[in-house]
Structure 1
Amino acid sequence: MSPTLAGTLLICGLLVFLATGMPIAFALGLAAMGGLFMAMGPEVIGVVAETMFAGIGNLAFVSIPMFVLMGAIVAGTPAGADLYRALDRWMYKVPGGLVLSNIGACAVFSGMTGSSPATCAAIGKLGIPEMINRGYPSSVATGSIAAGGTLGILLPPSVTMIIYGIATETSIGRLFLAGVLPGLMLTAMFMAWAMIDARRKGFRFGAEGVYYSLRDKLAALPRILPLMLIILGVLYVLYGGVATPSEAAGAGAMLTLVVVVLAYRLFKMGTFRDIFGSGMRESVMIMMILASAELFAFALSSLYITQSLAETIASLEVNRWVLMAVINVFLLVAGMFLPPVAVIVMSAPLLFPIVVQAGFDPYWFAVVLTINMEIGLITPPLGLNLFVINGIAPQVPTREILWGALPYALVMVLAIIILCLFPQIATILPDYVMGEAI
């Protein structure tokens, strides 16, 4: 069987499984087992468990559940509400200020979670009802948070950056630094669009009948500042080489739990059960996807699909920017059907040598890849953030959420173009802090 036919059958099988509503991890695993059966026959049974375990047997993966737990602690306690209210009180006079507050809250919350769904869920539960109550159209309320939630996989500590670093054997600390300035730039671009949209549609609802004194604005800060200091501390020990990502994540999760428990006097066992249960569910989901994606990647390699695709791309005698455009289209399409974790595990090892050989910086490429994955999070058919928001606000049709998020997807395309024109936005900070990559 030719690699082209085998690849077509494998992808079609995956799409059929996904169309049934099957969980992504199971769809990837079953499709991979079908592909391996074509390549190896019944002997496939002997390699499935070993391959899946090897896919998640890296010690660096310990950092993922720890960062997820940090997010669950903040999302499952009043700390998330305080974060949201603090930003709202400082920006309430700005036209469309409530939208800006939600985008800003998503950006800050991303630094505590590294997870897009967790960011959407935590900020959406507070922000969407408040925006709708103040008169914002439901498409604006839901679309802005669906898009703002995507910042969770770009700003550090990003789970997708950790996975990219492990898959390509690149520095996770440098990857985190590479995402800082692009993440802040994208946050500013989201806010700029929100202000333009607010002025264009005449949103003034943030200031009507609401007044906060300086004392009100400062009231929520004492509870927020310790959490911000923890984030800065985690990033410092990572970039300063004081601790590994796993050690930093574990210490960050522990300190976050202690601060939240003491600040809000959360001593009930039910609170701890909910926090750890939420963190465990999301962590297990991510690790299952990682294990299944590793099996799927092994199937692609066993059928010689990966090698054939790499040879085809490498043999293209085109300008390197045309090559990058082809790669971006591939990533956009893949991101529409698969979650970022699965796309990175399967595509990063394939694309990494091609990108490096073409003369592109691998850390810059990680940022471009991540923004592509962000677009996939708010575009159908998968659009994970769209479904998260729909679960939070079931009264809002998915079509309205999509239309509200679409302008932000175009903003992300513009951000990719800016990064292609000025790659230093992604590379200057890691080069300054950690020295130029060899």
Structure 2
Amino acid sequence: MDPLTLGGVVALATILVLFSGVSVATGLLITAGGFLLAFDGMRSLELMPEIFFGKLNDFALLSIPMFIIMGAAISSTRAGADLYEALDRWLTRVPGGLVVSNLGACALFAAMSGSSPATCAAIGKMGVPEMRRRGYPDTVAAGSIAAGGTLGILIPPSVTMIVYGVATETSIGRLFLAGVVPGLMLVTLFMAWSIYATWASGNAKVLESRSFTWAQKIEILPRVGPFLAVIVGVLFVLYGGVATPSETAAVGALLCIGIAVVIYRLWNLPALWAILRDSTRESVMILFIIAAAGVFSYMLSSLFITQSIAAWITELDVNRWVLMAAINLFLLVAGFFLPPVAVILMAAPILLPVILAAGFDPYWFAVVLTINMEIGLISPPVGLNLYVINGIAPDIPLKTILRGSIPYVMCMVVAILILCVFPGLATGLPDLVMGPVL
């Protein structure tokens, strides 16, 4: 069978297996094993355990459980509530200030946790009820937090960036830097839309009815200190040449657990055990997907599917921006149905040679890919953040949450277009700090 035709059969079979309800990792293993057995015989199946465990033999993967511990430790305390309260006091007079406060809190929390669901849950538990209490429409209250939570996979440290780095053998430190400016740009676009939407509604003054004295505003500032200490500490250790990304993740995890224990008095051993238990569960899930995707990638390569697809796309006589538009559409659709980690592990090894052949920067592409995955987090049928918000406020229908998130999806599309026109927004900071890629 022609490799391209076989690739189509593999894609269809993978979709059917994943839609059957099995986990992503199990589905990838079933598909890979079935096609290897059918086209390569029993000999190839003997290699599967070696490939599976060999994919996990990467020092960079140690950073994943450490960054997950960071998010779990902070999520288990009142840290999100304190961060939310501090920003609310300072931005209460801004039209749509409460929404802006929530988005700012999401951005800072994302810089510590690297997890979208954790960011969404931690800020949403305070933000959604408070916005509804003050009269904000449910679409604004739910949609803004759902969108703000997606920043967790773009603003460093980002677990998805680590996975991309491992899958494509690119620098994780450079990937983190590439996400900084686009992440801030996306926060700015979210905030600008929130301010405009509140102003256009004509009831901004009613919504922002509370006021705080200067003493109350200053009194809350020390609560923000621990957050800034974690962010500065992680960035200094990573880019000051002190440690590798994996070692930096361990430093971040230690700082976050220290904040939870010392500042938020999390002395309870069962609570600390819950942090480690939940972090282990999520880490194992991600690592299981990584290992299974390694076997899946081996199957694609062994049957010459990857090479044939890359060669076919490269030989297409189309403008490279038309090619990029098609890739973005593919990533967008894939993100609707699969979690970001699975999409990256399945697509990045195939797309990277195509991206390089078309003259695109792999670090710039990592940012564009991540924003596409962010859109998937607030789009059905998977839309993980939509379900997180629905869990926080069960009386808000999913369609209302989705309707509220649509303007922020448009902001993400605008961000991708801006990055296409000004790619230096993603590549400039890494080149400045770490030097140009040779």
TM tier relative to shorter chain: over 0.9
Q: 1:394–1:23: structure 2 CA closer, same or farther, 3 Å change rule?
A: farther
Cα distance in 2 for partners of 1:259, 1:169 equals 33
Structure 1: runs of 5 or more not aligned: none
Matches within 5 A, 1:195-206: 195-204=195-204
AA aligned opposite 2:155: L
The answer for the alignment partner of 2:348 in structure 1 is 348
Other-structure match for 1:65: 65
Q: What is the alpha-carbon distance in structure 1 between the residues aligned to residue 203 and residue 180 of structure 2? A: 30
Whole-Å separation in 1 of the counterparts to 2:388 and 2:15: 21
* Partner-residue secondary structure (3-state), 1:212: coil
Residue 369 of structure 1, CA deviation: 1.3
Residue 149 (structure 2) aligns with:
149
User: Match for 1:263: what amino acid?
Assistant: I
AA in 1 matched with 2:419: L
Distance in 2, matches of 1:342 and 1:117, equals: 16
1:185-196 equivalences in 2 (<5 Å)? 185-196=185-196
The aligned counterpart of 1:47 is 47
Alpha-carbon distance in structure 2 between the residues aligned to 1:146 and 1:35: 39
Superposed displacement of residue 45, structure 1: 4.0
1:2 maps to which residue? 2
Counterparts of residues 321-340 of structure 1 (less than 5 Å): 321-340=321-340
Q: CA deviation at 1:205?
A: 6.9
**Post-superposition offset of 1:108:** 0.5
Given the alignment of the two structures, is residue 137 of structure 1 paired with residue 137 of structure 2, yes or no?
A: yes
2:18 & 2:390 partners in 1: Cα distance?
A: 19
Write out aligned runs for 1:210-359 (5 A): 210-359=210-359
Secondary structure at 2:355 match in 1: helix
Q: Does structure 1 retain, via aligned residues, the 8 Å contact 2:314–2:358?
A: no
Instruction: Give yes or no for contact 1:93–1:207 (8 Å, CA) kept in 2.
Output: no
Contact persistence 1:28–1:292 (CA under 8 A): yes
Distance 1:130 1:43, change over 3 A: farther
SS in 2 for 1:220: helix
Which amino acid in structure 2 is aligned with residue 215 of structure 1? A
Matched, 1:426 2:418: no
CA distance in 1, matches of 2:7, 2:381: 21
For residues 296 and 128 of structure 2, what CA distance do their matches in structure 1 show?
37
Percent of aligned positions with the same letter in both sequences?
58
Aligned to 1:151, what secondary structure does the other structure show? helix
Contact 2:86 2:223 (8 Å CA) reproduced = no
The amino acid of 1:317's aligned partner reads D
Q: Equivalents in 2 of 1:389, 1:27: separation in Å? A: 28
After TM superposition, the structure 1 stretch with the greater mean CA deviation from structure 2, 312-321 or 378-387, is: 378-387
Pick closer, same or farther for the CA change 1:220–1:137 going to 2, 3 Å.
same
Determine the structure 1 residue equivalent to 2:88: 88
1:91 touches 1:100 (CA, 8 Å); kept in 2? yes
In the alignment, residue 82 of structure 2 is paired with which amino acid? Answer: D
Name structure 2 gaps, 5 residues minimum: none
Shift of 1:405: 1.0
Q: 1:396 to 1:30 in 2, by over 3 A?
A: farther
Closer, same or farther: CA 49–133 of 1 in aligned 2, 3 Å: farther
For residues 145-193 of structure 1, the C-alpha deviation after alignment (integer angstroms, 9 at most, x for no partner) is 1111111111111111111122222221111111111110010001111
SS at match of 1:57: coil
Alpha-carbon distance, 1:44 to partner: 5.1
Q: Aligned-pair distance for 1:393? A: 2.4
* 1:32 counterpart residue number: 32
The one-character-per-residue Cα deviations of 1:227-263 (angstroms, maximum 9, x if unpaired) are 3122112112212222101111101111221122111
Give me the whole-angstrom Cα distance separating, in 2, the residues matched to 1:199 and 1:261: 42
Paired AA for residue 291 in structure 2: A
TM normalised by structure 2 equals 0.95
1:118-129 equivalences under 5 Å are: 118-129=118-129
- Which 10-residue stretch deviates more, 224-233 or 7-16? 7-16
For residues 8 and 198 of structure 1, do their structure 2 counterparts lie closer, same or farther at Cα, with a shift above 3 Å needed? same
Q: Tell me if the contact between 1:95 and 1:203 (Cα under 8 Å) persists in the aligned partners.
A: no
Deviation at 1:414, TM superposition (A): 0.8
Moved more, 332-341 or 6-15: 6-15
C-alpha separation between the residues in 2 aligned to 1:251 and 1:48? 35
SS of the aligned residue for 1:282 comes to helix
8 A Cα contact 1:134 1:205, kept in partner:
no
1:163 and 2:124 matched: no
The CA deviation string for residues 31-50 of structure 1, in whole angstroms up to 9 with x for no partner, is 33223232234445423322
Deviates more, 1:419-428 or 1:133-142: 133-142
1:9, distance to aligned residue in structure 2 (A): 3.2
Alignment partner, residue 75 of structure 1: 75
The alpha-carbon deviation at position 215 of structure 1 amounts to 2.2
Counterpart residue type for residue 17 of structure 1: V
| Partners of 2:131 and 2:3 in 1: CA distance | 51
Give the direction of change, closer, same or farther, for the CA distance of 1:320–1:200 in structure 2 (3 Å limit): same
- After TM superposition, the structure 1 stretch with the greater mean CA deviation from structure 2, 128-137 or 20-29, is 20-29
